[in-house]
Structure 1
């Protein structure tokens, strides 16, 4: 892969990785342990934070895609980039709407039955973290 696009993609991928780790695996579980933060308040905060994160992720995904395409990627870099885009798309299109509907019900004062959809989001998030780390390393080596 060409050096300048590889360097740009590497920076973006590691920034993206850091954001996902900080928000999904640090802020999200910790906010529910804070004094005075009950489930509705935590869900309200989480929705705002994840809406912002997902918007930034879409931007970072597009920048990564452009840098990778311009840089004539290796097959491994292209495959990892595609995998990350598929994981993000799955989260945004298949899972987030279901989580939003459930949190709407909780915020409206209902007590909906427990759902496993959140676990699918976490699984995709963990897979995305692994793929982002692998892509970042491959880009470092390729650049």
Structure 2
């Protein structure tokens, strides 16, 4: 695989992981609670399945990133994997127990665990974006171009295309 293709593949995988994480955590999860007439127990059951599926797909993409990403980007990908593992091994058991209790009809006091989960999701999104940005910059350098400056994009400069 050429360096250009490897960089391009790294960028695509990072963007895919970032997109899945954002779409499921910040769009699908809150929106499902807006459904009228659906019992909260059913919504929580759907959420449990959705989170497991998103974690599995993200784990596959992370394995690909660790394989594809060079140097510091590989270290960042490993950091994302560590964050995901922390969320699932430390936070998720307690969150899952709370969800199961709520599904059985118990009223649960509020917890800061959701805030921690959200903060770590945001951090993972930022790290995926950093991996993608670095990979795109590497790919552009491989074809003799450098990434355009942000102000070039705003002015519509032909060099930004």
* TM score, norm. by length of structure 1: 0.89
The partner residue of 1:107 within 98, 103, 108 is: 103
Give the superposition deviation at 1:114: 1.5
1:88 aligns with 2:96: no
Task: Indicate the structure (1 or 2) with the bigger Cα radius of gyration.
Answer: 2
2:115 matched to which residue of 1?
Answer: 119
Aligned Cα root-mean-square deviation (Å): 1.6
- Larger relative contact order (CA 8 Å, sep ≥ 6): 1
Question: Whole-Å Cα distance in 2 between the matches of residues 51 and 74 of structure 1?
Answer: 30
Bigger drift between 94-103 and 32-41 goes to: 32-41
Give the superposition deviation at 1:106: 0.9
Moved over 6 A (4+): none
Alignment of 1:47-86 (within 5 A): 47-68=48-69, 73-75=70-72, 77-86=73-82
Q: Is the 8 A contact 2:83 2:124 kept in 1?
A: yes
SS at match of 2:34: coil
Question: Whole-Å Cα distance in 2 between the matches of residues 23 and 126 of structure 1?
Answer: 12
Give the superposition deviation at 1:111: 1.4
* TM score, norm. by length of structure 2: 0.79
Bigger drift between 108-117 and 125-134 goes to: 108-117
Q: Identify if the C-alpha distance between structure 1 residues 142 and 74 changes in structure 2 by more than 3 Å, giving closer, same or farther.
A: farther
Structure 2: segments with no counterpart, 5+ residues = 140-161
Structure 1: segments with no counterpart, 5+ residues = none
Give the superposition deviation at 1:134: 1.2
Q: Is the 8 A contact 2:33 2:43 kept in 1?
A: yes
Question: Whole-Å Cα distance in 1 between the matches of residues 89 and 80 of structure 2?
Answer: 14
SS at match of 2:6: helix
SS at match of 1:140: helix
